[in-house]
Amino acid sequence: MEGILAIAIELPGKRRQAFGGSKPKGSVTLGSGEGSQKVAVPVAVARILDKLQQKGDLKVPSIPAFMELLERIALECAWKRLLGLIEARDYSSKEADGKLKADGYEEGIRCTTLERARSCHLIDDGRFGEFFARRKIDAGWGRLRIQRELELKGIPPSSVPGWPDDFFSDEDDYDRARALAARKHLNGKNDFQKLMRLLTARGFPSSVAYRVAHELGGSERDRT
């Protein structure tokens, strides 16, 4: 039809959705012939576009007009996807961004969506970091391991309210390390080394690990 942009929408097949390393994407071909332009879009966006086209409501005069429509739909879909994620559990900004990126949402859409979520505290890295740290302390992790994991999740430990004084003390570290080490089965052979490996892997400071390993596993020289 004259004055209406030709649009062809392709959804990934079921086999492609079930197998393969990366998440499948939809695609949209704009125009026809040599001047056509193909755009990859998240599957959720492609499905909405496909429904609009089937109902005869996908009629735009130009590529710029389509791109404006595409942005609106992508923002709606990204927001819905994010709400679905955080219904299940709390997410850091970095984690949520990774999920949206894997779905195929472009950086601008992701940034706008995450900023909206932060503005209404649906995503709060400080809250996430505090909850994560306390949960891992209860699970027997030491401060160094918790610190590494927070950094991997995109949260500087210094940004967590009360870090580290409200979470750790030397005596608390010692008590938790000793309780963890006491559950370790020891047979009298290389017990000191076994406890050092256990406690340092859990993220306890080396001074605490050494103290507990020395008390429960003998001295470093006691190797048999």
Q: What domains can you pick out in the chain, each with its CATH number?
A: 7-119 (no CATH), 124-165 (1.10.10), 169-224 (no CATH)
pLDDT tops 90 at residue 26:
yes
More confident residue, 55 or 17: 55
Averaged pLDDT, 125-143: 94
Residue type at position 166: D
What is 121-154 written as a DSSP string?
A: TSS-HHHHHHHHHHHHHHTT--HHHHHHHHHHTT
**Range list of H helices, 55-169:** 63-88, 93-103, 107-119, 125-138, 143-152
Residues 40-78: tens digit of each pLDDT = 999 999 999 999 999 999 999 999 999 999 999 999 999
Averaged pLDDT, 117-123: 97
Q: Bridge-partner residues for 122, per DSSP?
A: none
Residues 162-181: tens digit of each pLDDT = 999 999 998 899 999 999 99
Residues 182-194: tens digit of each pLDDT = 999 888 889 999 9
